[in-house]
Structure 1
Amino acid sequence: MSEIEIITDGGRRRRWPATEKLRIVEETLEDGASISVVARRNGVAPNLLYRWRRLMLDGGAVAVSEDDDVTSNRAVRQMEDRIRELERQLGRKTLEVEILKEALDKTRSKKRTWLAQSQPKGGSR
């Protein structure tokens, strides 16, 4: 006679700690491991285990511990490159503003000097 398992779960969702998720996913990565067999052995739905595995392979252990969307390393590198480029452009624009301020100050002082020299000494024009 074969053994029968009766599941009396009341339909409540089970919470899996990140360490347990990692352990189960690592079982699926062993040579010859079937995801369905590993899922059955650990009492996890196969589609949930496929999801955990995909998240872990896409984003590492952080993805498995959280159920949020995962940003790939490539996307992060692209964003970091974009940030560096924008910071470089900001530095260039800041330098341009400083140069233009200095030029404006010099032209204002030259204009004051020129106006002072062009006014008649008697006070009237």
Structure 2
Amino acid sequence: MSETFSKVEVITGVARRRRFTTEQKLLVVNETLQPGMSISYVARRHGLSPSLVFRWRRLMSEGGKEAVRADEEVVAGSEVRRLEERVRDLERMLGRKTLEVEILKEALDLARVKKPTLLSRSHAPEDIP
């Protein structure tokens, strides 16, 4: 009698998708790279869709190619989005500060123009009886 196994996974809660850690994904992808292993077989063993495992392999290979091409580390998309948002916030802040500086310069110029006029109208201390 052949040994067959079946796996039943019960998903509780309101989440519609399962979440996999990076370690789990790497384990599955590395298993598909073993000689004689097919992606469909590995996917069935782990209760996954073969298309998901193909996607993980493609992402891993593309990420590796990009890292080699750029001679840099691969950065997660979420990290890139977070940093881009930070840059936008800093640009907005810089714009506000630039506007404040312009307003202050104009106020200083106006004060300089008014100051000589005020000095010429005022009396020197020795002129006061």
TM range (shorter): 0.3 to 0.5
> Normalising to structure 1: TM-score of the pair?
0.46
Give the TM-score of the pair, scaled to structure 2: 0.46
Say which structure, 1 or 2, has more relative contact order (CA 8 Å, 6+ apart): 1
